[in-house]
Structure 1
Amino acid sequence: MLRTEPAAIAAPSHDCPLCPRLVAYRAANQAANPDWFNGPVPSFGPVQARLLVVGMAPGVRGANRTGRPFTGDHAGVLLYQTLLRFGLAEGTYLASPDDGLVLKDTRIVNAVRCVPPANLPEPAEVAACNPFLESELRGMPQLRAVLALGVLAHAAVLKACGIPPSRIRFRHGAIHDLPDGLLLANSYHVSRYNTQTGRLTTEMFEAVMLDVLGRIKAAA
């Protein structure tokens, strides 16, 4: 994938009209909670990062409320604790966008920027938001690896790279070689369900992160 200058990164407007169902849900949340962010959640972290973490979509009481990916709900706990442990973040994660947390060499974005009802985007919504993910990938000049959290994020990254999702299957712990030297790593999503049922443990997630960081270092 040809990468351009950081200024080329496109992002949806706060009142993005692309997905009628998500627009309606956003309006309902805005009416019920006018002090929440209630809009497409922007990326978090430096554009010059070598690692991009891609999630599924904002949680209604998490990023949709706070305006920062994986901030304010259970999913952010394991993610940010792991980033802090491996030196990919500085500060303290307090589940608030004003906690002062800073990412290092890592950027976070969701495949779908707006919160979906029942935490599940529809295929048409994933497709409508995919150009923004593609722009994100193209606009990160130092990008070496993408960590996809879950099947939906994995497929969205492949689509943004022009690769049919059926060509490369999701498998937790796998690292796939994509064109132009880009790596695509897979992990189960850091959701409350996965962590509380043991589908994804701290040790499992840290092992994936260690593997990814090792591959990035080796490619430097």
Structure 2
Amino acid sequence: MCRTIAELDAQLTGCRACPRLVAWREQVAHDKRAAFRDENYWGKPVPGLGPDDARVLIIGLAPAAHGGNRTGRMFTGDRAGDFLIAAMYAAGLTNQPTSTHPGDGLRLIDSRMTAPVHCAPPDNKPLPSERDNCRRWLTEELTLLSPTLRSIVVLGGWGWQALLPALAESGWPIPKPKPRFTHAAHYELSPSIPNRSPLHLFGSYHPSQQNTFTGRLTPPMLEAVLTTAARAAGLEPPPA
């Protein structure tokens, strides 16, 4: 068990537990995309991003092969990241509306981003065994954030299903029937650990191109979920 978020992030980046994911992320980093051929790819597990006293946690699926796997930063350098960071900025959760590369000045405000799987998977589809191998990191992250964490926004049904066991393991039992994923879903989970606060769980469609290009997910839709989650966490809305 890691003692701090910084220790967790440092240990996570050395993980080689899933041979298929290790081979894929390193192959992508070696072969590169033509548009990024002059860049040095990260090619390792991508840690979460944001402060260790975050009140809002945003959970995706896994790093993109030429996004997080290239830049080494969650939701950075791809279209899904562009869409998400712009919506987070509108909700007052970042200091700027873009996330292009480490060192671009991005700062998350009272929020953190992570994923159930920290390595880029082939076809953006982790195997169930890979999801289960990676759960320990998410469980530890939830536990370390528990003193301040008040809201979670899950991007997509896959991430939702991956999160529920980690929540139970970290001290927020899952009620029966299980919370069901839909866009704008909202549940309140009671903790099993004394003196821990309840947790608000929200769902949103994932900002993948499949959803954003078709209009299934629009900027106002995602901004509304993030703003509601921030308010549930006790954060003030940004100035109009």
Question: Aligned partner of 1:113: which letter?
Answer: H
Q: After alignment, is 91-100 or 154-163 more displaced?
A: 91-100
Which residue, out of 64, 84, 87, partners 1:82? 87
Change (3 A) 1:187 1:40: same
1:154–1:170 contact (8 Å) kept in structure 2 = yes
2:29–2:43 contact (8 Å) kept in structure 1 = yes
Could you give the per-residue CA deviations for residues 38-96 of structure 1, whole angstroms, max 9, x where no partner exists?
01001111010100000000000100000111100000112111121222111352511
Q: Which runs of 5+ in 1 are unaligned?
A: none
The alpha carbon displacement at 1:100 in A equals 0.8
Structure 2 match to 1:152: 158
State how many pairs are aligned.
215
Q: After alignment, is 187-196 or 206-215 more displaced?
A: 206-215
Structure 1 match to 2:116: 111
Q: TM-score, normalised by structure 2?
A: 0.83
Structure 2 match to 1:193: 210
Change (3 A) 1:62 1:165: farther
Which residue, out of 179, 183, 203, partners 2:190? 179
Question: Aligned partner of 2:154: which letter?
Answer: A
Question: Aligned partner of 2:165: which letter?
Answer: K
The alpha carbon displacement at 1:176 in A equals 1.0
Structure 2 match to 1:206: 223
Q: After alignment, is 5-14 or 90-99 more displaced?
A: 5-14
Q: After alignment, is 155-164 or 138-147 more displaced?
A: 155-164
Structure 2 match to 1:10: 8
The alpha carbon displacement at 1:122 in A equals 1.0
Structure 2 match to 1:125: 130
Higher relative contact order, chain-length normalized (CA < 8 Å, sep 6+): 1
Q: Report the aligned-residue RMSD.
A: 2.2
Q: Could you tell me how far apart the structure 2 residues matched to 1:52 and 1:7 are?
A: 13
Change (3 A) 1:127 1:165: farther
Q: What secondary structure sits across from 2:233 in the alignment?
A: helix
Change (3 A) 1:36 1:197: same
2:5–2:141 contact (8 Å) kept in structure 1 = no
Q: After alignment, is 28-37 or 77-86 more displaced?
A: 28-37
Which residue, out of 160, 167, 178, partners 2:178? 167
Which residue, out of 22, 39, 58, partners 2:63? 58
Structure 1 match to 2:35: none
1:92–1:99 contact (8 Å) kept in structure 2 = no
Q: What secondary structure sits across from 1:52 in the alignment?
A: strand
Q: Could you tell me how far apart the structure 1 residues matched to 2:144 and 2:51 are?
A: 11
Q: Could you tell me how far apart the structure 2 residues matched to 1:187 and 1:193 are?
A: 14
Q: Which runs of 5+ in 2 are unaligned?
A: 33-38, 169-173, 192-197, 236-240
The alpha carbon displacement at 1:149 in A equals 0.3
